[in-house]
Structure 1
């Protein structure tokens, strides 16, 4: 059989992957900072769902994925990818409603570290899990003793661990969607599927959102900054690198989250938190060296 022709290269394919990740991280967490200001109006889970809904509208209008000929396998992969992505958004926003943004992102990073360790072949990838776990335990201990009400801290830590599991699934399924050539079209289909999957829980907020134009515009900013831009860039990079490499490159994101949290939300990390963040980043370096 002849080898399939590679997909055509676009302008973003000429940009170095680390640059794409810096742009992705800055927009992702700038959108998260805006979202935090909306939690008092709708609640964190509902803001996470509207982020997916509006991002799906933007992507479907842009890509018109129905024009593509879908195989059943590719369509199922895109749907699963979207449901995991929507779940990740909802539980992550619950986490950042209870935890500082940088701490939540660092703990959530257990997901990518686990993917890199499982798909890697050297001892350093395996040891990275222990190092990352040490950083997460330190961050969790600081959080529990930081003055945050214990119930809030427990809810936040549980939510961010769930988000870490979803993030791992997002990487694996996203690589499958990108490798099938569906790319951004698969992302559009997936977001529609994710929005529909969680609609029964949050559709009751529709009258309030759709009749409040400023609120709707803020949610649209969150959707574009935190979903459309970073996930489109993810799909571009996933076409170019392997799953483990993609996980390693995500090491740029925790530092970005800390920076955005400090500048926008005034969440200044303590020294123990910085040590925990350094351990997580060290785990990523270990997977990269391996």
Structure 2
């Protein structure tokens, strides 16, 4: 009800969430030469868990054994997804990694509807991915980086499914504990890769900033928006993430894309927006989980 009088406020919150996430990830990539993708991922996930633990204090809520299993699966998948995505960023542009990763939630959305029009969105997604994957003579993307991004896409799909299993829990409860589980995966890998470099005060400060900008702020804005914005509108705006990531990576990292790559991103965004619209019309609204 309260989303109708001022729909632009929650819409701006979603846009702010996507923008904050992309800015944080762009700056995180600048740490790769110092602590590697693994170390940077450990800083982001580890400090995000600490920030959200202190903010939400999840120990205030009871957690049954069954729900604990849901949260652990959700968190472990989140951790692997973050690690694989950062590994992909070592060799392929940020915007293209996001576009490829979007194939995960797109697959989940496609499976939620059986209407004929969904084949249009499926064809659009396949066309976009085919233009990005290193399949032909015009391929310019590193195959290893693409495989990491595809792995992150699979994890994002599982993250959505596992997240829905824990959807009855308070968002702050499941997200904060989920990030703790994610830390169990990511932090040891980061320590093994970066070692004592992670203890440098400048690196630690940068890690806290990245965690806040790329995790704490986006998650808080998304939770605010989901309470006031129809799920369909939320999903459409989140679908802009590949384009926003590409624009910010161009401005902050100097990653210039070709017209061919921009067209591929356009196909994937079109597929995501279209599938969001038709999926929501075909079934009752359900909470959306962002990756």
Range class of TM-score, shorter chain: 0.7 to 0.9
- Match status 1:77 vs 2:70: yes
Q: How much does 1:145 deviate?
A: 4.1
* Structural mapping, 1:170-185, within 5 Å: 170-177=159-166, 179-185=167-173
In structure 2, C-alpha distance between the alignment counterparts of 1:74 and 1:240, rounded to whole Å: 26
The match for 1:6 is none
1:264 aligns with 2:252: yes
Q: Distance in 1 between matches of 2:74 and 2:230?
A: 17
Distance of 1:80 and 1:239 partners within structure 2: 25
CA apart distance, 1:81: 1.2
Residue 165 of structure 1 deviates from its aligned partner by 1.0
CA contact (8 A) 1:171 1:247 kept: no
Report whether the alignment pairs 1:118 with 2:111: yes
1:208 is matched with 197
CA contact (8 A) 1:175 1:239 kept: no
Matches within 5 A, 1:154-173: 154-173=143-162
Q: How much has 1:78 moved relative to structure 2?
A: 1.5
Deviations 1:130-160 (A, max 9, x none): 2111101102249974666xxxx01110010
Cα displacement (A) at 1:241: 7.3
Q: TM-score under structure 2 normalisation?
A: 0.84
- Do the aligned partners of residues 260 and 188 (structure 1) sit closer, same or farther apart at CA in structure 2, a change above 3 Å counting? same
Alpha-carbon distance in structure 1 between the residues aligned to 2:274 and 2:68: 35
C-alpha distance in 2 between matches for 1:94 and 1:61: 28
Q: Residue 62 of structure 1 aligns with which residue? A: 55
Matches within 5 A, 1:210-225: 210=199, 212-225=200-213
Shift of 1:104: 1.0
CA RMSD of aligned residues (A): 2.6
Q: Give the equivalent residue in structure 2 for 1:253.
A: 241
Q: Report Cα offsets for 1:249-277 as digits up to 9, x if no partner.
A: 42121111011111111112211011101
* C-alpha deviation, 1:243, in angstroms: 7.7
**CA shift at 1:51, angstroms?**
0.8
| Superposition map of 1:71-110 within 5 A | 71-110=64-103
Q: Does 1:136 align with 2:125?
A: no
Indicate conservation of the 8 Å contact 1:27/1:230, yes or no: yes
1:30–1:226 Cα contact (<8 Å) kept? yes
